[in-house]
Amino acid sequence: MAPPVSVSVVLPAYNESSTITSAVEDTLDHLKSFLPPGSYELIIAEDGCTDDTPKIASDLAIKYDEVRHYHSPSRLGRGEALNRAFEIAKGDVLVYLDSDLATDNVHLEQLITAVHSGSVDIATGSRWFPGAQTKRPFHRSILSKGFNTLVRFLLRSKLYDHQCGFKSFNREIFFKLSPSLKDTHWFWDTEILVKAQNSNFNVLEFPVSWTPQKDTKVDIARDVFAMAINILRLWVEFYISPRITPLNSSIFGFFISFLALFLMGYYLDLDLNLFYTFMSNPIYLLLSIFIYLLSWPIRGIRYQKILSQLGFQESLKFLTESIFLSQTCNLVFPARAGDAARAYILKSKKKIPYVSGFASLFFERLFDLLTITTLAGVVFILTSLLRSGSLSSLDITVGNISQSGKIAIRLAILVAIFVLFLLTLILISSKTKGNRISRLLKIFSNDLYAQRFSSSLEHFVENIQKLTINPAIFVRVGVLSLIIWSLDVFVAIIILYSFDPSISLLTLIFTCFFAVSIGNLAKVLPLSPGGIGLYEGAFTLLVVSLAGVSPSLALSVAIIDHAIKNFITILGGSISSLDLNLSLKSTLQIK
Strands (E) in 100-235, as ranges, are 122-126, 133-134, 166-170, 203-207, 209-210
Instruction: Check if the beta carbon of residue 12 is closer than 8 Å to that of residue 96.
Output: yes
Kindly report the CA angle at 224 between 221 and 229, in degrees rounded to 5?
120
Rounded to whole angstroms, how far apart are CA atoms 99 and 213? Answer: 10
Helix (H, G, I), strand (E, B) or coil at 385: helix
- Least Cα distance to 184 among 245, 226, 243 occurs for 226
What residue type is 455 in one-letter code?
A: S
Residues in contact with 404: Cβ distance below 8 Å, sequence separation at least 6, in sequence order: 541
Closest CA to 328 of 342, 347, 314: 342
> Are the C-beta atoms of 239 and 156 separated by less than 8 Å?
no
Q: What is the dihedral of CA 117, 122, 126, 131, to 10 degrees?
A: -40
Task: Give me the amino acid identity at 133.
Answer: Q
Question: Is 561 part of the annotated catalytic residue set?
Answer: no
Could you give the maximum distance between any two Cα atoms of the chain, in Å?
106
DSSP 529: G
User: Do residues 509 and 493 make contact, with C-beta atoms less than 8 angstroms apart?
Assistant: yes
- Rounded (10°) angle between helices 551-580 and 471-499: 130
Single-letter amino acid code for the residue at 559: I
Residues 5 and 90 sit within 8 Å (Cβ to Cβ): yes
Catalytic residue among 98, 100, 189, 368: 189
Whether the Cβ atoms of residue 128 and residue 144 lie closer than 8 Å to each other:
yes
Q: How far apart are CA 208 and CA 585, in angstroms?
A: 42
Give the 3-state secondary structure of residue 94: strand
SS3 at position 123: strand
Closest CA to 298 of 463, 476, 565, 473: 476
The residue count for the chain:
591
At a CB cut-off of 8 Å and minimum separation 6, what does 546 contact? 383, 396, 397, 398, 401, 507, 510, 511, 514, 515
| Main-chain dihedrals φ then ψ at residue 103, nearest 5 degrees | -85, 130
Bridging pattern class, strands 166-170 and 93-97? antiparallel
Which residues face 204 on adjacent strands?
Answer: 123
Contact by Cβ (8 Å): 235, 154: yes
Pairing of strands 166-170, 122-126: antiparallel
Closest CA relative to residue 493, chosen from 552, 389, 564: 564
| Region class of 336: left (phi > 0), else alpha (psi between -120 and 50), else beta | left
Distance CA(533)–CA(531), nearest Å, equals 6
User: What are the residue numbers of the active site?
Assistant: 189
